[in-house]
């Protein structure tokens, strides 16, 4: 059913070859309903080399233990809550975990302030409801209900944006593993393999804090920001290359220098100190996440490819950087100007970058 022109195939399709190779080499016990053993899931997520020599690309770059705890949690009766600041790959990891564990990352509830109980329980096809009365055929199952019936993983994005009473619809699902349908005098019981991966932003803390009853059903795993600049450069270059390839942008040589610079700027502003630890700098109001570095560079790549001379230059990323840093037109602009003048201007080999940013 998927056209070859699909802009962004789901992870299970994008990496179908890798998943098949991992499954073929996987001789460890699989939890009921799982397609792979927990160790094989970790290999898919973190990358590695299979006994036969096939190389598996890393999807998530970060502490192995974080991934192991996340995978192990999903093999228990507790659900998984991925927590972290925006752009720490919570959504990304949740998609890949679902793809590897149950071969389906599409059973997704996008949490918003307007998410209603039907998104977690079930709704009705009103035309049928009116003509036939409540029946199985008139019932519209939510992604969670389908995951229960099929023994798969349901993903709940941005859990803490969902109103508390709607969030609490998950309590029965997670504790009793059942979803009653009183209108039909029935219930849907979860099949082995069912579990839930939820994500939530640190920054949203306090918005709709999950009730303690719900919290107890989850094991929380915090995703950290990349520990070192090298790690962040690796994440960014890998993703930028992948996105560039899928958009059929020609990859310019030596983009790595510009990637290093963008990552350095983001890290320094985020951490409030220069990479050499010598100069304190002020942090802007927005989060300068790895995800934003990726979009700044992808934007730069498109500029370079279509309007430049084929190389990725400071001028191609400058506008993107300023846009990412200056969220508040007043206070962030001051922070940015100060950083430009005190740090960027006199840095060796950054002259072009300084000029491009000043002009942007």
Using CA atoms, how far residue 22 sits from 11, 45, 47, in Å, is 15, 11, 11
* DSSP symbol at 271: H
Beta carbons within 8 Å of 174's beta carbon, 6+ residues apart: 78, 79, 196, 214, 217, 218
The reply to whether 160 sits near ligand ADP by the rule CB under 6 A is no
| 239 lies in the site for ligand ADP, by CB under 6 A | yes
Q: What residue has token string 């590897």? A: 100
Whether the CB-CB separation of 221 and 206 falls below 8 Å is answered with no
- CA 150 remoteness from chain centre: 24
Q: Which is nearer to Mg ion, 197 or 304 (CB)?
A: 197
- Which of 86, 123, 151, 308 binds ligand ADP (CB under 6 A)? It is 86
**How many chain residues interact with ligand ADP (CB under 6 A)?**
18
> Please, which residue, 80 or 356, has the CB nearer to Mg ion?
80
* Binding flag, residue 193, ligand ADP (CB under 6 A): no
Among 43, 88, 167, 208, binds ligand ADP (CB under 6 A): 88
CB of 279 to ligand ADP, least distance (A): 26
Stretch of 37-45, 55-63, 270-278, 312-320 contacting ligand ADP, by CB under 6 A: 55-63
Coil, strand or helix: which one is 110?
strand
Asked if 91 interacts with Mg ion (CB under 5 A), we say yes
Does 265 help bind ligand ADP (rule: CB under 6 A)? no
CB of 337 to ligand ADP, least distance (A): 28
Report the alpha-carbon distance of residue 202 to residue 206 in Å, rounded: 9
3-state SS assignment for residue 193: coil
CA-based torsion, 194, 205, 62, 263: positive or negative: positive
* C-alpha–C-alpha distance, residues 88 and 62, integer Å: 10
Query: Least distance from C-beta 44 to Mg ion, angstroms?
Result: 20
Candidate list 34, 44, 60, 218; residue touching ligand ADP; CB under 6 A? 60
Contact residues for Mg ion, defined by CB under 5 A: 90-91
Would you tell me which residues interact with ligand ADP (CB under 6 A)? 60-62, 84, 86-92, 199, 226, 235, 239, 290-291, 294
């Amino acid at each position: 059913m998927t056209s070859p022109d699909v802009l962004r195939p789901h992870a299970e399709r994008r990496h179908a070859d890798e998943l098949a190779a991992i499954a073929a080499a996987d001789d460890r016990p699989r939890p009921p309903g799982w397609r792979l053993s927990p160790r094989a899931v970790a290999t898919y997520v973190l990358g590695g080399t299979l006994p036969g020599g096939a190389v598996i690309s890393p999807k998530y770059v970060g502490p192995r233990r974080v991934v192991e705890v996340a995978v192990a949690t999903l093999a228990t009766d507790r659900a998984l809550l991925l927590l972290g600041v925006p752009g720490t790959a919570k959504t990304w990891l949740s998609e890949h975990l679902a793809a590897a564990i149950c071969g389906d990352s599409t059973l997704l509830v996008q949490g918003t302030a307007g998410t209603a109980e039907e998104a977690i329980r079930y709704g009705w096809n009103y035309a049928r409801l009116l003509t036939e009365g409540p029946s199985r055929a008139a019932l519209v199952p939510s992604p969670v209900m389908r995951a229960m019936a099929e023994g798969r993983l349901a993903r709940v994005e941005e859990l803490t944006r969902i109103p508390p009473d709607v969030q609490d619809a998950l309590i029965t699902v997670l504790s009793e593993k059942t979803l009653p349908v009183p209108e039909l005098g029935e219930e849907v019981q979860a099949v082995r393999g069912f579990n839930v991966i939820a994500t939530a932003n640190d920054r949203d803390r306090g918005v709709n804090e999950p009730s303690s009853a719900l919290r107890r059903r989850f094991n929380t795993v915090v995703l950290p920001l990349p520990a070192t600049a090298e790690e962040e450069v690796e994440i960014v270059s890998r993703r930028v290359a992948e996105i560039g390839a899928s958009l059929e942008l020609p990859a310019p040589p030596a983009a790595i220098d510009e990637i290093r610079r963008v990552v350095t700027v983001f890290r320094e502003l985020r951490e409030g100190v220069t990479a050499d630890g010598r100069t304190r700098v002020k942090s802007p109001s927005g989060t300068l996440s790895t995800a934003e570095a990726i979009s700044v560079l992808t934007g730069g790549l498109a500029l370079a490819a279509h309007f430049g001379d084929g190389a990725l230059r400071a001028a191609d990323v400058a506008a993107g950087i300023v846009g990412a840093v200056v969220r508040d037109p007043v206070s962030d602009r001051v922070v940015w100007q100060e950083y430009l003048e005190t740090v960027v201007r006199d840095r060796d080999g950054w002259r072009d970058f300084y000029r491009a940013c000043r002009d942007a």
